Amino acid sequence: MIINHPLLGPRDAAEFVYLGDACLIDRPDWQAEDAMERFHDYGYLRDNPAGEHRELWYHEQGDRSWLVVTRNTLTHEITHVELARDVARERGRDK
Amino acid sequence: MRYSAFRIFMEGLTGNKGWKPAWREPEPKPEYDIVIIGGGGHGLATAYYLSKEFGLRNVAVLEKGWLGSGNIGRNTTIIRSNYLLPGNEPFYEMSMKLWENLEQDTNYNSMVSQRSILNLFHTDGQRDAFVRRGNAMFLAGADAELADAAQLRRELPFLDFDNARFPIKGGLFQRRGGTARHDAVAWGYARGADSRGVDILQNCEVTGMDIENGRIRGVQTSRGPIRAKKVAMCVAGSSGRVAAMAGMRLPIESHVLQAFVSEGLKPVLPGVITFGAGHFYVSQSDKGGLVFGGDIDGYNTYAQRGNLPVVEDVCEGGMAIMPMIGRARLLRSWGGVMDMSMDGTPFIDKTHIDGLYFNGGWCYGGFKATPASGYCYAHLLAKDEPHPVATQMRLDRFRTGNIIDEKGVGNQPNLH
């Protein structure tokens, strides 16, 4: 697979480390009333769809950026690549 | 029809006209006591033990494709019970004992061959870990044997003992481990279940679940609706998709594992051998091909094929312990979809929906577990309580902190 890095251009997926579902960006509030339940779901439950999947890849053997890659789990086709930093800021994270 | 040498002899004299199909092709009935989703090894084993050990025969197995078209026909056929943790090892040892009697039990030649499995170690620390694992195996009634490099040099002289990076210091044998003929396992269980009245419905894909007031009523399928008192999911790599029909999110990701077979060779490998410093395992099939594999590709996928970097990694592992493998040509490679759980350990449990049960999360260790998985799942379905060796394989173990993490890498499915 080739991942089209937003800053570096097309890179071999072997340069990256895979973390998983991009919902891992949305870390729950540890002070919430139901923090235990939410951290269980955050840490252990996954959607695991057959089709389009947004997921986190880390460019370990490159510029060490985190990417959000939109990839089809049936065909391995990659349709969209963003910097995870930008995705997190869009969702209201300050850093 | 009972299979025997005498039967083969008699059929040979009478033109082989008496053989019958090994199972029926029934039409779906409108209702069953138990519907099992998934006609792979585990689903068929569950149906077999339900009908044979627990006397429940109003059972259907629904299979999307043809019987045994998933991972039961795509694995590297290794059977073993060399686990460490108390939540696992008694279960796998039960499976090993069922393997040892499988052919007599099902009256079907599953070609179970206890040709031994050897896990190599390459450092002193790894040796200590393997001694501990061997002792854990003894505690569960399994066999284990620690071999030093001198013994291995006599038994397996072709290994690369003096590899500069990963010298072989010894290994842990399980002599009772080995291989089995994977397709025949599915066929044997299917024939045994069918002969006791279980309906095996092929080309019958589940498209929805009928759930009313927190209770399962049946399933919608490509061959029409089927009502059921109990529904048992048993779909390995498709667990996420099927459970989503019941509104469930699972502690599972689906990954692809590749496997490889070389051209046919004269006998060179007496048993199964695994590399301790990378991920590589190899055995030789009865046809002569070297059957081997290694790590999963490491990203979520439902495609039954992988990518080249892992092919290279697996072959490097092979070359590191067994340089002669470089002379063999690769004949075929393929991939299967693995239901990788968050701690590397499977689930055999009820769900939060009454009458709906879940069996999955087998990672890439499902084949060896087939008999015990079927037996324990049948026990759970028949009695509504877990079999004693499967009490810890619960869906809620992450909530309660009772994870069973053999490898100790945490909630990162692609590392198990």
B171 neighbors B152 (Cβ within 8 angstroms): yes
Amino acid B87 reads G
Give the Cα separation of B238 and B240 in Å (integer): 6
Nearest to A44 among B244, B251, B254 (CB): B251
Shortest CA gap A90–chain B (Å):
25
Q: pLDDT tens, A8-35?
A: 999 999 999 999 999 999 999 999 999 9
* Per-residue pLDDT tens over the stretch A49-70: 999 999 999 999 999 999 999 9
Q: What is the pLDDT of residue A95?
A: 62
Q: Residue A95 falls within a domain, yes or no?
A: no
**Domain membership flag for residue A37:** no
**pLDDT tens digit sequence for B163-213:** 999 999 999 999 999 999 999 999 999 999 999 999 999 999 999 999 999
- In 3D space, the residue among B203, B48, B184 whose CA is nearest the CA of residue B113 turns out to be B184
Kindly state the tokens that stand for A37.
Answer: 């339940």
pLDDT tens profile B284-322: 999 999 999 999 999 999 999 999 999 999 999 999 999
What's the one-letter identity of residue B292? F
Specify the pTM.
0.96
- Interface list for chain A against chain B, based on CB atoms closer than 8 Å: 1, 12-14, 18-21, 40-41, 43-50, 53, 55, 71, 73-76
CB–CB of B211/B355 below 8 Å? no
Task: Test A48 with B241 for CB contact under 8 angstroms.
Answer: yes
Cβ of A46 within 8 Å of Cβ of B253? The answer is: yes
Q: What residue type is B278 in one-letter code?
A: G
- In chain A, residues with a C-beta closer than 8 Å to the C-beta of B244 are 47-49
Residue B150 has pLDDT above 80, yes or no: yes
Distance in Å, alpha carbon of A92 to nearest chain B alpha carbon: 26
Residue B252 forms contact with A (CB below 8 Å): yes
CATH of the domain at A58: 3.30.2270.10
Residue B407 clears pLDDT 80, i.e. is over it: yes
| Dihedral angle of Cα B22, B25, B31, B34, to the nearest 10 degrees | 30
The reply to whether B356 touches chain A by the CB within 8 Å rule is: no
Q: Over 90: is that where the pLDDT of A94 sits?
A: no
Instruction: Determine, yes or no, domain membership for A72.
Output: yes
User: What distance in Å separates residue A75's CA from the closest CA in chain B?
Assistant: 6
In a domain, A7, yes or no: yes
pLDDT score at A92: 84
Is the Cβ pair A48, B250 closer than 8 Å? yes
Average pLDDT of chain B is: 96
Q: Is B399 on the interface with A (CB under 8 A)?
A: yes
Q: Which chain B residue has its CA at the smallest distance from A13's CA? A: B309
Q: How far is B61 from chain A (nearest CA, A)?
A: 23
Q: How many domains does chain A have?
A: 1
Question: What mean pLDDT do residues B106-123 have?
Answer: 97
A14 is a domain residue = yes
Of the pLDDT bands very low, low, confident and very high (cuts 50, 70, 90), residue B118 is very high
The C-alpha torsion from B104 through B109 and B111 to B112, rounded to 10°, is -20
Cβ–Cβ under 8 Å, residues B99 and B79: yes
Look-up of token digits 């990256």: A16
Contact B252 A46 (CB under 8 A): yes
Which of B83, B87, B41 has its CA nearest to residue B61? Answer: B41
Contact B250 A73 (CB under 8 A): no
- Domain annotation covers residue A19: yes
Q: Which residues of B touch A41 (CB under 8 A)?
A: 249
Minimal Cα distance from A43: which residue of B?
B411
Instruction: Calculate how close chain A gets to B106, using CA atoms only, in Å.
Output: 36
Q: Which domain holds residue A59?
A: 2-26+42-90
CA distance B218 to B238: 19
Window from A90-94, B216-220, B347-351 with minimum mean pLDDT: A90-94
Contact at CB, B413 and A40, closer than 8 angstroms: no
> Pick from A18, A20, A50: which is nearest to B302 by CB?
A50
Please state the rounded mean pLDDT for residues B404-412: 94
A76 located within any domain: yes
How far is B112 from chain A, CA to nearest CA, in Å? Answer: 34
Contact list, B238 vs chain A (CB under 8 Å): 50
ipTM score of the complex? 0.95
Q: Is residue A34 part of a domain?
A: no
